[in-house]
Amino acid sequence: MNEETELFLKKVNFLVEKYFLTKHKIMYLIKGLIGGIILWILTFFSLFGGFTNYKKLVDENVKQISASESLRHQAEDLVSNPLFIGGMVEVIIISFVIGYLGMCIFQIIFDLIRGKVFQEFKSEKINLR
């Protein structure tokens, strides 16, 4: 490997250790929760465009389900199905992971803008020599 490739790999390793593999385990939870909540809010507003459109959609669906006996039974079967509950847990876990990765990337971009990403890397490089 040449020097440029080796320096690039060291920088990538430094970023992964600094931002993705935190020393404090509670940061996994905090970043995941905040990122997951932001992801759900963005998804909600991109799908429905706000609370008024969501309320209209829910009202229409309630009218359709209450009018049809077969739709009511299908909805009850769906909600009581263990696969539905497992799917909801899976969606929450996936949103937690995506939120964590998103928050880490956001933190890297924010520190890049402030110019503080590689400050510790430069001081480590000086100490290594």
Per-residue pLDDT reduced to its tens digit, 14-56: 888 888 887 788 888 888 899 999 999 988 888 888 888 888 9
State how far the alpha carbon of 11 is from the alpha carbons of 18, 90, 94, in Å: 10, 33, 28
State how far the alpha carbon of 15 is from the alpha carbons of 2, 79, 109, in Å: 20, 43, 11
pLDDT of residue 94 exceeding 90, the answer is yes
